[in-house]
Chain A
Amino acid sequence: NAGVTQTPKFRVLKTGQSMTLLCAQDMNHEYMYWYRQDPGMGLRLIHYSVGEGTTAKGEVPDGYNVSRLKKQNFLLGLESAAPSQTSVYFCASLRDQSYNEQFFGPGTRLTVL
């Protein structure tokens, strides 16, 4: 199993550009999450999904959209990137709520100029 994978690993955008980050998991997990990690702020939850076709807002959802059209994929979109969205983005998955351990991807480092 590859576990949780993220594409791309690095990306540089100009202000106002759009992009989509892809998270994929091959563990048949129901729950998936998008976090951002910033210096001095820890990891903060952006959006999450409790199953195919569902999405919900986390702690810092503004400026992001998500979709979960397939169970194994969770997409994070930035429609109009801003410098404040410069961060490292992590995806995670969880088998279901009765389980405990979230599995994390390797991260995507995004810079918005």
Chain B
Amino acid sequence: KQEVTQIPAALSVPEGENLVLNCSFTDSAIYNLQWFRQDPGKGLTSLLLIQSSQREQTSGRLNASLDKSSGRSTLYIAASQPGDSATYLCAVRPETSGSRLTFGEGTQLTVNP
């Protein structure tokens, strides 16, 4: 059974700092990996999606990497801002699950002004 773990569970940083969020998964047979952002009381917004054949994806100040063989992904946020404060969720789409996603528990990020 695929399991997804995110470390740390919570992170507090000063504004302007570069930071890395980690995601690990137990079964490397994945179709893709997706990073989401969730604001308090809101739904999920997709940030980046990495196909299993890709190594990384970039969008603005965000960069996500994927090492499928070792079961790891990182989300790098450059020059963090208070508006980046949210919970970040990692989800994998296993090869054998059809379209279903398996989620990690998330990392709650606070960026202090």
Interface residues of A (CB under 8 A from B): 4, 31, 33, 40-45, 48, 50, 58, 90, 92, 94, 97, 100-107, 109
On whether the beta carbons of A94 and B99 are closer than 8 Å, the reply is yes
CB distance from B104 to the nearest CB of A (A): 6
Q: A42-B89, A42-B106, A43-B89 are known contacts. Are A102 and B42 too (CB-CB below 8 A)?
A: no
Give the dominant DSSP class at A's interface. Answer: strand
- From B36, B89, B98, B106, contact of A50 by CB (8 A): B98
How many residue pairs at the A-B interface have CB separations less than 8 Å? 53
Q: Enumerate chain B residues within 8 angstroms of A42, measured Cβ to Cβ.
A: 4, 89, 103-106
> Which of B49, B89, B100 is packed against the most chain A CB atoms within 10 Å?
B100
On whether the beta carbons of A100 and B42 are closer than 8 Å, the reply is no
- From A44, A90, A97, contact of B99 by CB (8 A): A97
Q: A45-B100, A94-B99 are known contacts. Are A101 and B105 too (CB-CB below 8 A)?
A: no
On whether the beta carbons of B44 and A90 are closer than 8 Å, the reply is yes
CB distance from B111 to the nearest CB of A (A): 22
On whether the beta carbons of A45 and B101 are closer than 8 Å, the reply is yes
On whether the beta carbons of A41 and B42 are closer than 8 Å, the reply is no
> Which of B4, B36, B93, B99 is packed against the most chain A CB atoms within 10 Å?
B99
Q: Enumerate chain B residues within 8 angstroms of A31, measured Cβ to Cβ.
A: 99
Q: Enumerate chain A residues within 8 angstroms of B89, measured Cβ to Cβ.
A: 42-43
On whether the beta carbons of A40 and B100 are closer than 8 Å, the reply is no
Q: A41-B105, A42-B104 are known contacts. Are A104 and B44 too (CB-CB below 8 A)?
A: yes
